[in-house]
């Protein structure tokens, strides 16, 4: 499932998806791949056509309206993907009907590189990729609407994906922290795509740089879309501070990235600071011209506040360019000892790094050598091989989840949080739980919330001495439901021996009721 947007509007997500598909084309020639596309990208993906790969357009209509930042895959694409079930169309080119059932087409696995598994089927294992959970860790950069869309995205992924691939250990840690997903369903596969940059012919490079107006002066380079977390404003502040301290420095600052409006404030600040001749906005540019800019720069500067991985850091190391980057999230995991690090919230620390790299040729050479050694650890074929191995495991062992309950003690007492895991099964299943609040509970009322990820399914309260029966319909796909009960109490605080557990209510029964009245006892 690959509804990529044109140009650079998807950021690194598009790069990963396309490079993976290209490598599948080369390394899995014995397998067949069906690429589900959208009308706005179908022809762009024609480069992937081959004996083992064909495209099918499943989503009609115009390209989603490019809103300012952070509608990336959670906003525009999530809304688009939500229409797929009811908008399956004819195969472009062959004009044959796909139908509504992937299994009938011989599909054995659904792979979603950066979209929710909206088009999943219960009998087909699904593998999804998680790029980051930035909306959970830096919510100030998102509207409530965008947070809601991203939460829906993650809820669907958590419920339907048999296996989840994370692009870094930082991302995997975030997934385990925020999504209530068992560790065994997650895998870390770092991004490895540095070979896409090839130096153009000398004459072409000079001409490209001249066309951009950056051929005559040395420059630092920041390739990133103008989203708030990319931290362009801090970089601009640091650059101004650097020039104030080093007025004779010849170095300029070059930006590339899709111009969707987020750059307007930065351009205005550049003008106000009197730096219009020193700061260059190139926009989104084709790969050959982008490669010329890469090979022409003095060093990469990467002040991002949050990265699921940080592809430009790897690209810089692979072509022998020094790296200056933030010391947060996944970036140290990628760069290792091959970068100068700074605090992305403190411009003075970045100024110090720029001064070091522009005045110390020995340091520059050391970083270049360490970067080449570091980049050798990220081999594209290894990444592809890991993806293919996960695919094969998923096909051999679909339905990785089983019916179980976690968070209830042997004596029936519950704590604050209980997780019920359910496997794929028949539609119209009912989860049934019976809870009891003993009459002597210290609280006047106990609140009970049943939720699917961040979506509340049931909310009620129990008074001491009462019972409660919860009945909740389950989808046919696998997933998790969380039961939260508050407040809890510590028995030892109330003279009940040395029991130090935090307890809430007693579970008298938990079972799945199937459509034919069969009951599966969980507790």
What pLDDT shows up at residue 80? 47
Residue 94 has pLDDT above 80, yes or no: no
Comparing 297 with 423, the larger pLDDT belongs to 297
Q: Calculate the CA 44 to chain-centre distance.
A: 23
**Tokens read off for 283:** 């926009």
Could you read off the pLDDT of 331-351 as tens digits, one per residue? Answer: 999 999 999 999 999 999 999
pLDDT digits over 448-460, tens only? 999 886 688 999 9
Q: Report residue 447 as tokens.
A: 């609140």
Q: Is the pLDDT of residue 522 over 60?
A: yes
* Res. 353: pLDDT tops 90: yes
The structure tokens listed for 446 are: 């106990």
Largest CA distance in the chain: 85
Residues 353-368 have a mean pLDDT of 97
Q: How far is CA 9 from CA 73, 84, 144, 271, in A?
A: 10, 21, 21, 25
Distance CA 245, CA 232 (A): 20
pLDDT digits (tens, 9 = 90+) for 63-74: 655 443 333 444
CA distance 72 to 134: 12
Q: Provide CATH 2.60.120 ranges for the chain.
A: 404-521
Please answer whether residues 33 and 52 qualify as being in contact, where contact means their C-beta atoms are separated by less than 8 angstroms. Answer: yes
Portions of the chain given CATH number 3.40.50.2000:
12-192, 195-378
Output the pLDDT for position 502: 87
Percent helix, strand and coil across the chain, each to the nearest 5: 35, 25, 40
Residue 413 is given by DSSP the state B
Mean of pLDDT over the chain: 85
* Vertex 481: Cα angle to 475 and 484 (nearest 5): 150
Asked whether the predicted pLDDT for residue 9 surpasses 60, the reply is no
What is the assigned CATH class of domain 404-521? mainly beta
Is pLDDT at 241 greater than 90 in this prediction?
yes
Segment 305-326 mean pLDDT: 95
Q: Which residues contact 465 (CB under 8 A, 6 or more apart)?
A: 437, 438, 439
Predicted confidence at residue 79, as pLDDT, reads 46
Q: 5-14, 89-98, 367-376, 465-474: which has the minimum mean pLDDT?
A: 89-98
| 76-80, 301-305, 517-521: least confident range | 76-80
Q: Which has the closest alpha carbon to 205: 296, 116, 328, 126?
A: 296
| Phi-psi sector, 61: left (phi>0), alpha (psi -120 to 50), beta | left
Q: Is the pTM higher than 0.75?
A: no
What does CATH list as the number for 195-378? 3.40.50.2000
Please tell me the distance from the alpha carbon of residue 383 to that of residue 149, in angstroms, as a whole number: 29
Residue 486 has pLDDT above 50, yes or no: yes
Topology given in CATH for the domain delimited by 12-192: Rossmann fold (3.40.50)
> For residue 100, what pLDDT is reported?
52
- 3-state secondary structure labels for all residues of 173-227: HHHHHHCCCCHHHEEECCCCCHHHCCCCCHHHHHHHHHHHCCCCCCEEEEECCCC
Cβ pair 32, 395 in contact under 8 A:
no
Q: Work out the burial of residue 54: count CB atoms within 10 Å of its CB; fewer than 13 is exposed, 13-18 middle, 19 or more buried.
A: middle
Closest by CA to 254, choosing from 263, 244, 241, is 263
Query: For position 96, what pLDDT does the model report?
Result: 34
Q: Binning pLDDT at 50, 70 and 90, where does residue 422 land?
A: confident
pLDDT for 196 equals 67
Place of tokens 């409530």: 144
Predicted pLDDT at 307: 96
Low-confidence winner among 5-14, 304-313, 403-412, 471-480 (lowest mean pLDDT): 5-14
Q: Is 475 exposed, middle or buried (0-12, 13-18, 19+ CB in 10 A)?
A: middle
Rg (CA), the chain: 26
Q: Please state the rounded mean pLDDT for residues 190-205.
A: 82
pLDDT (tens digit per residue) in 112-158:
987 778 778 777 889 999 999 999 999 999 999 999 888 888 888 88
């Amino acid at each position: 499932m690959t509804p990529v947007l044109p140009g650079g509007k998807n950021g690194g997500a598009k790069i990963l998806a396309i490079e993976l598909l290209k490598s599948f084309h080369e390394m899995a020639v014995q397998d067949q791949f069906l690429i589900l596309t959208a009308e706005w990208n179908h022809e762009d993906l024609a480069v992937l056509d081959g004996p083992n790969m064909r495209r099918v357009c499943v989503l009609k209509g115009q390209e989603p309206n490019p809103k300012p930042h952070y509608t990336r895959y959670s906003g525009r694409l999530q809304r688009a993907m939500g229409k797929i079930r009811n908008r399956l169309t004819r195969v472009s080119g062959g004009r044959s009907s796909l139908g509504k059932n992937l299994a009938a087409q011989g599909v054995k696995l659904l792979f979603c590189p950066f979209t929710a598994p909206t088009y999943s089927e219960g009998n087909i294992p699904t593998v999804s990729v998680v790029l980051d959970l930035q909306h959970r860790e830096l919510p100030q950069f998102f509207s409530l609407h965008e947070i809601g869309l991203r939460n829906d995205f993650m809820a669907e992924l958590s419920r339907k994906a048999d296996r989840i691939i994370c692009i870094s250990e930082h991302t995997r840690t975030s997934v385990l922290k925020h999504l209530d997903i068992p560790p065994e369903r997650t895998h870390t596969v770092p991004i490895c795509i540095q070979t896409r940059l090839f130096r153009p012919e000398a004459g072409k490079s000079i001409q490209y740089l001249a066309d951009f107006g950056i051929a005559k002066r040395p420059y630092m380079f920041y390739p990133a879309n103008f989203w708030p977390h990319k931290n362009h404003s801090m970089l601009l502040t640091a650059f101004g501070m650097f020039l104030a301290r080093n007025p004779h420095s010849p170095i300029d600052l070059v930006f590339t990235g899709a111009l969707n409006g987020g750059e307007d404030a930065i351009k205005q600040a550049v003008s106000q600071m009197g730096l219009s001749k020193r700061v260059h906005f190139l926009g989104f540019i084709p790969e050959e011209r982008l490669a010329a800019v890469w090979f022409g720069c003095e060093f990469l500067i990467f002040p991002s506040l949050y990265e699921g991985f940080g592809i430009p850091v790897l690209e810089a190391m692979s072509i022998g360019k020094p790296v200056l980057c933030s010391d947060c999230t996944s970036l140290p995991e990628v760069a290792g000892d091959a970068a100068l690090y700074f605090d992305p919230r403190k411009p003075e620390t970045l100024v110090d790094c720029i001064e070091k790299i522009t005045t110390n040729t020995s340091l520059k050479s050391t970083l270049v050598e360490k970067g080449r050694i570091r980049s050798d650890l990220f081999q594209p074929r290894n990444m592809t091989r890991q993806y293919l191995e996960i695919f094969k495991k998923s096909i051999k062992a679909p339905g990785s989840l089983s019916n179980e309950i976690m968070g209830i003690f042997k004596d029936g007492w519950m704590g604050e949080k209980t997780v019920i895991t359910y496997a794929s099964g028949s539609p119209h299943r009912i989860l049934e739980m019976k809870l009891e609040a003993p009459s002597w509970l210290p609280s006047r009322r106990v609140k009970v919330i049943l939720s699917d990820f961040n979506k509340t399914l049931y909310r009620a309260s129990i008074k001491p001495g009462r019972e409660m029966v919860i009945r909740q319909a389950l989808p046919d796909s696998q997933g998790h439901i969380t039961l939260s009960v508050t407040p809890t109490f510590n028995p030892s605080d109330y003279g009940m021996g040395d029991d130090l557990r935090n307890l809430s209510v007693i579970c008298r029964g938990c079972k799945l009721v199937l459509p034919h009245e069969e009951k599966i006892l969980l507790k």
